[in-house]
Amino acid sequence: GFASLDHHRSLRQGFPEVVLCEGKTQAQIVSIVRALLKRRGPLLATRAEPAVARAIRRLDRRARYHEDAKVVVVHDPKRVRRGHVLIVTAGTADVSVAEEARVTAEVMGSHVETLYDVGVAGLHRLLGRKDRLFTARVIVVAAGMDGVLPSVVGGLVDCPVIAVPTSRGYGASFGGLAALLTMLNSCAAGVGVMNIDNGFGAACLAHRINILGQRGKG
């Protein structure tokens, strides 16, 4: 078959295998999702086009599509969310990546707050809300173009910062490469970097950090 599902992942890592829809045919996605739904855990499918979302809804009426995040979710909405993840963006154009992160972290069980469009072209927007930064346990910062916001946030706070370069920009932004390099070279120490547009991965890491000390291992 075209798929070998990792049914052990939930035990090993606390959440079942997530479906990355991009690069798979709709038939493949439907077959994988059907197998996952049988296990009755939560379902997360990322990079889902509307047609894919509709196909998944036909399998399970509880499925909810977050269009801006391109994510399909089946989960128990009443589950208590823990800790405090803050997601920040530099611009409005980075919001879709941030939303992929927000939905992912919430489905995994984290409490999430957001602070969008506070890039350094108008620095007072960030400095005026420093309290928002200081109360978070872990901060995700998404930025395209020059990608400078994680360096600025990283210089202000003492909690872990996760930087997500986005592909927003043009010309010498080279599809997010400029922002990626900025973040990797951040002069603020303690900033971990994700792949371009990888809101999903940022949320996984943020969630793992967020629940630390609240589980056995603390």
Ligand X SMILES: Nc1ncnc2c1ncn2[C@@H]1O[C@H](COP(=O)(O)O)[C@@H](O)[C@H]1O
Q: Smallest gap, in angstroms, from Cβ of residue 138 to ligand X?
A: 19
Identify residue 120 by its one-letter amino acid code.
Answer: V
Ramachandran area for residue 111 (φ above 0: left; ψ -120 to 50: alpha; else beta) = beta
Asked whether the beta carbons of 164 and 138 are under 8 A apart, the reply is: no
| Positions 64 through 93 that interact with ligand X (CB under 6 A) | 91-93
3-class state of residue 200 by DSSP: helix
46 binds, among Mg ion, ligand X, a copy of itself, none (CB under 5 to 8 A by kind): ligand X
DSSP category for residue 91: S
Question: Looking at the DSSP assignment, which residues form a beta bridge with residue 140?
Answer: 87, 162
**Which is nearer to Mg ion, 156 or 212 (by Cβ)?**
156
Residue nearest ligand X, Cβ-based = 91
**Which is nearer to ligand X, 46 or 110 (by Cβ)?**
46
Question: Which of 85, 198, 205, 207 touches ligand X (CB under 6 A)?
Answer: 198
Q: Where are the alpha helices (DSSP H) in 61-187?
A: 95-108, 124-127, 130-134, 149-156, 177-184
Stretch of 22-30, 33-41, 56-64, 69-77 contacting a copy of itself, by CB under 8 A:
22-30
Start-to-end C-alpha separation, the chain: 41
Asked whether the beta carbons of 142 and 180 are under 8 A apart, the reply is: no
Asked whether the beta carbons of 209 and 177 are under 8 A apart, the reply is: no
**Which is nearer to a copy of itself, 53 or 115 (by Cβ)?**
115
Over the window 28 to 67, marking each residue x when it contacts a copy of itself by CB under 8 A and - when it does not, the resulting string is x---x-----------------------------------
Stretch of 35-43, 59-67, 117-125, 134-142 contacting ligand X, by CB under 6 A:
117-125
**Which is nearer to a copy of itself, 60 or 121 (by Cβ)?**
121
Residue nearest Mg ion, Cβ-based = 117
Site of tokens 């009426």:
61
Q: Where are the extended beta strands (E) located within 52-150?
A: 64-66, 71-74, 82-89, 110-115, 138-143
Question: Which of 102, 107, 119, 133 touches a copy of itself (CB under 8 A)?
Answer: 119
Question: Which of 37, 64, 114, 117 touches Mg ion (CB under 5 A)?
Answer: 117
The residues binding ligand X (CB under 6 A) are: 17-18, 20, 46-47, 91-93, 117, 119, 121, 187, 189, 198, 200-201
